[in-house]
Amino acid sequence: MSEEKSKAELLKEELCLKKEHFDEVYGDETGKADEFCKGYMNFLNAAKTERECNAYIIEKAKANGFEEFDPAKKYCQGDKIYYNNRSKAVILAVIGKKGMSEGAKIVASHIDSPRLDLKPTPLYEDSEMAYFKTHYYGGLRKYQWSAIPLSLHGVFIKKDGSVVNVNLGEKEDEPQFVITDLLPHLAKEQSKRTLAEGIKGEELNILIGSRPFKDDSGSELVKLNILKLLNEKYGITEADFVSAELELVPAFKARDIGFDRSLIGAYGHDDRVCAYPGIEGLFSLDVPEHTAIMVLADKEEIGSDGNTGLNSAFLKYFIADLAESEGIKGRHALSKSQCLSADVNAGFDPNYPSVHDKLNAAFLNHGVVVTKYTGARGKSGTSDASAEFVGKVRAILDEAKVCWQIGELGKVDEGGGGTVAMFLANLNIDVVDLGVPVLSMHAPFEVVAKADVYSTFKACEAFFKS
């Protein structure tokens, strides 16, 4: 039975901003979202660190017809290239019909996640137990990293330059590692600490063994036995830790969350949850109008400094090389380029409502979130996207029927954060943040909604094609 709408209802429809729920508006695409996320979850399990993401992405790019970038070469429309920056960051590009004359369409995300790095001299023995000392990487809440299973990923670089890859603790039969915590019975004093101090930086020590090397005499025989095992497995000595990059990450696999399986729990959604949709968006292109560039950066979690982070010149040089091969000045191509800084935002969490302004928060299942600015206090440390560029992006998303929402990172003065957006803006590129709303961001096990992951893929694809 259809009822006629009241005047107020009609006027509301015409004038008020609609907050779209994915299932209400795009419910017929739920199957597609679930299917897309199966591929995403495989990626999560296969590539947990920036180096593993780099290798995974380049392998997939090659399978999709991408060739290694050669700055001396002139590229034609439809050519697909990749640039490997030191095995930790990647640029993928599909040359468009307009070449670089009209600038590029760039999606930038990052493939590093918060974790525990080994110190240069990590190995020690205490009370007949062997440990690794760590130095945490990125903004993590230290107390969350004790008493969970950890796996070890990374590389030893030996003095002859040879690379020894390490990936231990992911397969069923492999050992894992852990940071122990106090039992509640004896935690009376520790429990008085603030949450930030619950586990201190120098207490993030990884338990790695307890069996001594079999000999009658000598000290530190447990440590010696660990070194013997490491030498047998990886051919390394204690000195090789000096030129190693070894990371402890949660050993969990990505899992469906909820009776309805609408969510994904995993380590490091931030920012692989934008990297993967961006890559898939790029792979879906035939010959785009504008040259499409997908940047997968390292070092975002520690401020984007360093030559694999987006505060370095590697993207600028790449675009300049492409432009100059067409006889165009690099800076002119940069100035005409547009970018989605594809990174996560905080999803509204009903468990902790006080940190959000509900009117301006991003909600799970309401699609990809466009974030005009991040930063802290009075918009400090951010690129506040222009209304003009947000207007363009808004039109692209609506045109492509993408489920999207606008959101801020928490209440004013509640805290804050940043993304790579400002480093792209510094190159005179138009840029706005866009990505997936996350619960428990930077925790060992973060949560996202499948509908939002799929919406981010649609957003990246539509932007590249625009």
Tell which residue, 295, 263, 299, 256, has the closest CA to residue 113: 299
How far is residue 337's CA from residue 98's CA, in Å, rounded to a whole number?
A: 12
Start-to-end C-alpha separation, the chain = 42
Q: How far is the CB of 308 from Mn ion (least distance, A)?
A: 15
Is 271 near Mn ion (CB under 5 A)? yes
| Cβ contact 295:282 at 8 Å | no
Is 298 near Mn ion (CB under 5 A)? no
314's enclosing H/E stretch is: helix 314-325
Considering only the stretches 36-44, 53-61, 117-125, 342-350, report the one whose residues sit in contact with Mn ion under the rule CB under 5 A: 342-350
Q: Which two tokens stand for residue 202?
A: 């120098």
DSSP assignment letter at 420: S
Q: Which is nearer to Mn ion, 125 or 343 (CB)?
A: 343
Q: How far is the CB of 278 from Mn ion (least distance, A)?
A: 13
Q: How far is the CB of 221 from Mn ion (least distance, A)?
A: 41
Q: How many residues at the interface with Mn ion, by CB under 5 A?
A: 3
Considering only the stretches 150-158, 249-257, 290-298, 336-344, report the one whose residues sit in contact with Mn ion under the rule CB under 5 A: 336-344
Q: Which is nearer to Mn ion, 343 or 349 (CB)?
A: 343
Is 408 near Mn ion (CB under 5 A)? no
Residues contacting residue 106 through CB under 8 Å, at least 6 positions apart = 293, 294, 295, 315, 337, 338, 339, 340, 424, 429
Q: Which is nearer to Mn ion, 52 or 271 (CB)?
A: 271
How far is residue 301's CA from residue 361's CA, in Å, rounded to a whole number?
A: 22
How far is residue 336's CA from residue 342's CA, in Å, rounded to a whole number?
A: 19
Q: How far is the CB of 109 from Mn ion (least distance, A)?
A: 8
Q: Which is nearer to Mn ion, 270 or 452 (CB)?
A: 270
Q: How far is the CB of 371 from Mn ion (least distance, A)?
A: 11
Q: By CB under 5 A, name the one of 280, 321, 343, 452 that touches Mn ion.
A: 343
**Where would I find the beta strands (DSSP E) of 377-463?**
404-406, 416-417, 430-435, 437-438, 446-449
Considering only the stretches 251-259, 287-295, 343-351, 357-365, report the one whose residues sit in contact with Mn ion under the rule CB under 5 A: 343-351
Q: By CB under 5 A, name the one of 50, 52, 125, 270 that touches Mn ion.
A: 270
* Interface residues toward Mn ion, by CB under 5 A: 270-271, 343
